[in-house]
Structure 1
Amino acid sequence: MTDSKFKGIKRRDFIKGALVGTGALALTGINSRSAEAAGVPKKWDVEADVVILGFGGAGACAAIEAADAGAKVLILEKQPQNNLINNTRMSGGIYHSPDPAGDRKALKEYAKAMFSGENIPAMLEGEQPDVSDGLAEAWAQFAPENVDFLKKLDPAFNTVAFSRFSGAAFPTFPGAKESKYRVYGSSFTNKADFNIPTMNSPKSEKMNGEAFFTVLREAVEKRKPRILWETPAQRLIVNDKGAVIGVVGKKKDGKEVCCKARRAVIVTTGGYEYSLPMRRAFLEGPGVEGWAFYGTPENTGDGIAMAMQAGAALAKVGKAASRIITAVPIRHHGLKMGLITDSVGGANSIVIDNYGNRYAAETLVTTDPSRYFFYKEAVKFDITKLMYPRVPSWMIFDDTLRSKGTITSLGISTAGFGFVPWTKDNMDAVKRGWILKADTLEELAAKIKEQKENRKLMEAANLVRTVGRFNEFCKKGNDEDYGRKTGTLGPVDKPPYYALPLYAGGPNTKGGIAANARREVLDWLGKPIPRLFTAGEISSALKFVYQGGGNLTECIVFGRIAGRNAAALKPWK
């Protein structure tokens, strides 16, 4: 970048310093729609009708829709072409596609309840009442088309039914029954097994998120957009009228490339799971060491920072699709990496706090409707001791559980895509010290107490008493303390014993930049920033509750809407 190529960059540089240099997040452009994010270049390096930032599920759907509308599309992606691993690809491939024969008004009501909640009698106020009606209407219109949309892109793609994720996760919400809500898995086979990695498998054998994203990626590539690989977007270019007219990217060689967007820019860069300053600023409790995520480490909040520089408002930024999961000392951007931990709440295990006490029915962690809220229990603050006694929590289990199943899912997420090594018998993690092992509960308590994060709080007598009490409940077939599901009441009684740290976390953050149903990014006055659109977890519609598969669903629904509306604009002059 040189002064001869750009005008008026001083304010931009100041903002960039405030965002990055201090680790704080400034709310820029609160009262102005003409915030200058970058000077307008005298010469453009690349031009397109629609410029999309990020090639994940939402970006792919936006690209497909924009291209089908006749727009010339350009995609900027920070990852290399031969190693594009995004949250969509790493996911379980679960998505929603309500029965088209269901009641559309009921579907709108159910969607509004999930997005904002103001149609639920017990709610004091809605999470996003200014835009929820439009968002719900869009969901009711597009979501029932999701199966057909994917099948038309690739007829070889198969939907897979899950009994565990069969319908509405919130059956008491308005419209839950009448909407005929449906949830499916993704596959090119006749099954979707979370424990079989298919990252490097032939297309005909791909499952889960790998299958889902394969459909989208191939559909995008058939439309032949220009893709600038290893070129992360750096800043939006805003003209003197406050319209976003392009973006500056940074190529692998360090040179900047100025990309003109004749119609619009769509930001689909994902959440801020691996942005240390944003996590510290936005997440509840100890946002850095008290949380972990099991999605791509490339989600560093870039789009949120860029949109803020252009005057974008924020919306419920602290929201996350999270429960409690384990994490390992493999760090990216200074942050430890998590793993799916659906084994929590299974037989022969309990969850305790740092003192050795149970604090909830463990089945709440992994079953609807509570599972994506459970992180709130994990980061609960003790207002008398002024500390977080459940950061981390500990999963205590015996050799029965260790030997009969794998703690994580080996086919998807961080284990399935090679970020975290894990073996089927869990013993490699034991050898690495990620899982603590002891012959007695007293010895296990001592090992937990030695861990820095326990802060020497563990009391052996508490742990022994807690396990003994739980085992008595197992004999009775009734958890008298917390009402845990009877079918999971297997005792913790076969040594050796194990302990696994658990942190608030999950696949991704959901809060970020504010947007309306047209997927126009909004400023702090609630007005659209001209020619700037967004979709995906960076601007998730699911602000009140989250149902598993919701992120992929909105990738399709709101990615398509963003692409369609961006392509419909007339080119600026």
Structure 2
Amino acid sequence: MYGVFWSAICDEWSAGRSDSRDCRKRRSALVGDGARARRGVEAALPESSRVSFDVVVIGYGYAGAVAAIEAHDAGAHVLLLEKMAAPGGISICSAGGVRIAYDAEDALDYLEATNAGTTPTKVLRQLAEGMVELPDRMRALARVSGARVEVRPAKGNYPFRGHESFGFAMVEDVPGFSSEAAYPNVKGSAAGARLFKVVEDNVRERGIEVRLETGARRLLTDGERRVTGVDAGEPLHAGAVVLACGGFEADPEMQKQFWPSKPVLSAAFRGNTGDGIRMAQALGAGLWHMWHYHGSYGFRHPDPSYPFGIRTKRLPDWLPGDAPRDDVRMPWILLDRDGRRFMNEYEPYLQDTGHRPLERFRPEVQDYARLPAWLVADEAGRRLYPFGQPTYNEPGQCFEWSDDNLAEVELGILQRAENLDGLARGLSVSRARLDATLERWNRGCERRRDEDFGRPAPSMAPLIEPPFYFGRVWPIVSNTQGGPVHDERQRVLDAFGDPIAGLYACGELGSVFGHLYLSGGNLAECFVGGRIAGREAAGA
């Protein structure tokens, strides 16, 4: 409803004139009344009590940038806070593919199926409708940078009803832009960096005030639980606050309370420590989806100064029921601590669910059988491609995985065994157990059928050529989905379902995804939810 309403009045993004004076006047007449009324009240208050901003947005990734842009374009005086020394957060490490939809009803059917009743239909409908509008929104933002946005069809990750209604929108080119030069502390996809360049240019073009190295500590209220600002080392008064400060990938203490497996290594960013969750909780916010995180399995660097887990190489996702690609091979298997396979190492969307099979706790021995698990490959597999794919947004880091995996043997991430006896010793399993496991696997490769876990046949590679290589693998979290509950207007709700006045959330913080994730879905939430949150906050 809101998207159609604003398009009819004056859709600045679609028109590509975000600084249009006439458009700003018309919007301000509708959503600026609340801001002007607050300023009228301020004039009668002591200087120390006056509202400094209409909207404060906490967190400068995709979601925070979009919320700030939308609030500004609705006539609000906006402050954008970021606790780290540079903006980007985990957003800038993303693959940059924003999920779009061609049909809102079909997209809603799919979202309902993948969320399994964990998210209200009204909230999912708002996302589905926003995904249909996203290509035009992104193209309008891209004009500021002279960037080119391309859209292509891409099915959902699972064959639920509506899965064919999706696609991706990506920033394919920004003239004169180099991701390495612009963001030297980031190792990720160039497409993700280009997308962040576009939103950063839009923030800068509008003259939105940004304060870096300014962490939010607590929310300010009026004593009646209406949010009136934020404590960020000094009181910053505002008519509304938007929480867009990410999840808790880098907070192991919070993870311990909600996740069954321990430890889980963070993939890319140290700044997401659950700040927004705690601030919302302090005002009675309800929580959802706290168990759910987007992640896979990967390696731990032996140098403690390297703070992240290292995911295995990303292979193409595949859709159950469709014929798998013939050109994708995975040269390893995973074994538990007893030397047995325990999962399909190449699940349909491995980057999302690959961590889940590692979580089983064995009451019989009071321990985790698969923490760590073992990745095992042979010499032919070692030569195929790099096993690891580091990603990070971190000053001072420069770790690159070698093309032939041999530097990682020297580092100790991988170990080498000259024969099967040495491999059995390295894994601390009996030679008989190892032989049984490898014989069954190699027989399955000959028959092109994994009878145990259903791994796609083209991906199967026998383990026969010494020397053999093995390394410990752990659960890796790329980003979390849990956080404060919000409604279709992005208003944070308390534990009884009532809105907390003046408080909004968007992006990864309290994601709508509560069961199975849709690739690119968090990015869609950043743009759709960020837009709604910014607009609502401006009119609060």
Give the shorter-chain TM-score range. 0.7 to 0.9
Q: Equivalent residues in 2 for 1:110-129 (5 A)?
A: 110-114=110-114, 116-117=115-116, 126-128=117-119
Q: Which residue of 2 aligns with 1:376?
A: 356
Q: Which amino acid aligns with 1:127?
A: T
Q: Which amino acid aligns with 1:113?
A: A
1:558, CA displacement in angstroms?
Answer: 0.5
Distance 2:50 2:425 in 1: 62
CA contact (8 A) 1:158 1:187 kept: yes
Q: Which residue of 2 aligns with 1:470?
A: 441
Is structure 2 residue 417 aligned with structure 1 residue 438?
yes
Distance 1:210 1:309 in 2: 34
Q: Which residue of 2 aligns with 1:554?
A: 525
Call closer, same or farther: CA 1:45–1:241 in 2, change over 3 Å: closer
Is structure 2 residue 357 aligned with structure 1 residue 385?
no
1:96 to 77, 83, 99: 99
1:536, CA displacement in angstroms?
Answer: 1.2
Q: Which residue of 1 aligns with 2:31?
A: none
Is structure 2 residue 113 aligned with structure 1 residue 147?
no
Cα deviations across residues 450-505 of structure 1 (Å, max 9, x unaligned)? xxxxxxxx334322331232122222222233332110121112222111222222
Cα deviations across residues 412-464 of structure 1 (Å, max 9, x unaligned)? 54699946442222222221101112212321332344xxxxxxxx3343223
Call closer, same or farther: CA 1:503–1:424 in 2, change over 3 Å: same
**Structure 2: which 5+ runs fail to align?**
1-44, 317-327
2:405 to 398, 413, 426: 426
CA contact (8 A) 1:96 1:183 kept: yes
1:297, CA displacement in angstroms?
Answer: 1.1
CA contact (8 A) 2:58 2:244 kept: yes
Distance 2:491 2:303 in 1: 37
Q: Which amino acid aligns with 1:144?
A: V
Q: Aligned to 1:363, what secondary structure does the other structure show?
A: coil
2:344 to 334, 342, 361: 361
Call closer, same or farther: CA 1:301–1:97 in 2, change over 3 Å: same
CA contact (8 A) 2:339 2:427 kept: no
Q: Which residue of 2 aligns with 1:18?
A: none
Q: Equivalent residues in 2 for 1:97-496 (5 A)?
A: 97-99=100-102, 102=103, 104-114=104-114, 116-117=115-116, 126-128=117-119, 132-155=120-143, 156-159=146-149, 166-172=154-160, 174-177=161-164, 180-188=165-173, 198-200=179-181, 207-249=190-232, 256-261=233-238, 263-286=239-262, 289=263, 291-331=264-304, 336-342=308-314, 346-364=329-347, 367-368=348-349, 372-409=352-389, 412-413=391-392, 418=397, 420-449=399-428, 458-496=429-467
Q: Aligned to 2:299, what secondary structure does the other structure show?
A: strand
Q: Equivalent residues in 2 for 1:33-44 (5 A)?
A: 43=48
Cα deviations across residues 128-184 of structure 1 (Å, max 9, x unaligned)? 3xxx2111221122111222212111144344578xx92121222x3334xx21134
Q: Which residue of 2 aligns with 1:454?
A: none
Q: Which residue of 2 aligns with 1:13?
A: none
Q: Aligned to 1:97, what secondary structure does the other structure show?
A: strand
Q: Aligned to 1:540, what secondary structure does the other structure show?
A: coil
Q: Which residue of 2 aligns with 1:60?
A: 65
Q: Which residue of 2 aligns with 1:28?
A: none
Bigger helix share: 2
1:343, CA displacement in angstroms?
Answer: 5.8
* Higher mean C-alpha deviation, range 433-442 or range 222-231: 433-442
Q: Which amino acid aligns with 1:433?
A: G
Distance 1:42 1:426 in 2: 63
Call closer, same or farther: CA 1:329–1:490 in 2, change over 3 Å: same
Distance 2:288 2:351 in 1: 22
CA contact (8 A) 1:397 1:498 kept: yes
1:278, CA displacement in angstroms?
Answer: 0.3
Call closer, same or farther: CA 1:331–1:53 in 2, change over 3 Å: farther
1:525, CA displacement in angstroms?
Answer: 0.9
**Structure 1: which 5+ runs fail to align?**
1-39, 118-125, 191-196, 250-255, 450-457
Call closer, same or farther: CA 1:421–1:221 in 2, change over 3 Å: same
1:279, CA displacement in angstroms?
Answer: 1.2
Q: Aligned to 2:64, what secondary structure does the other structure show?
A: helix
TM-score, length-normalised on structure 2? 0.82
* Higher mean C-alpha deviation, range 236-245 or range 459-468: 459-468
Q: Aligned to 1:372, what secondary structure does the other structure show?
A: helix
Q: Which residue of 1 aligns with 2:35?
A: none
Q: Which residue of 1 aligns with 2:82?
A: 77
Q: Which amino acid aligns with 2:130?
A: F
Call closer, same or farther: CA 1:495–1:210 in 2, change over 3 Å: same
Distance 2:500 2:147 in 1: 37
Q: Which amino acid aligns with 1:489?
A: M
**Percent identical residues:** 28
1:563, CA displacement in angstroms?
Answer: 0.5
Call closer, same or farther: CA 1:274–1:371 in 2, change over 3 Å: closer
Q: Which residue of 2 aligns with 1:22?
A: none
Distance 2:514 2:258 in 1: 14
4+ aligned runs moved over 6 Å, structure 1: 414-417
CA contact (8 A) 2:246 2:272 kept: yes
CA contact (8 A) 1:397 1:492 kept: yes
Q: Which residue of 1 aligns with 2:18?
A: none
Q: Which residue of 2 aligns with 1:567?
A: 538
1:189, CA displacement in angstroms?
Answer: 7.0
Distance 1:491 1:41 in 2: 76
Cα deviations across residues 534-567 of structure 1 (Å, max 9, x unaligned)? 0111110111210111111111110111001101
Q: Which residue of 1 aligns with 2:40?
A: none
* Higher mean C-alpha deviation, range 490-499 or range 86-95: 490-499
Q: Aligned to 2:334, what secondary structure does the other structure show?
A: strand
Q: Which amino acid aligns with 1:94?
A: G
Distance 2:247 2:374 in 1: 27
Cα deviations across residues 242-301 of structure 1 (Å, max 9, x unaligned)? 10101011xxxxxx221111x200011101111121011111222xx2x11213111111
Distance 1:522 1:468 in 2: 55
Distance 1:279 1:168 in 2: 28
1:51 to 29, 53, 56: 56
Distance 1:402 1:390 in 2: 23
1:221, CA displacement in angstroms?
Answer: 1.3
Distance 2:396 2:516 in 1: 28
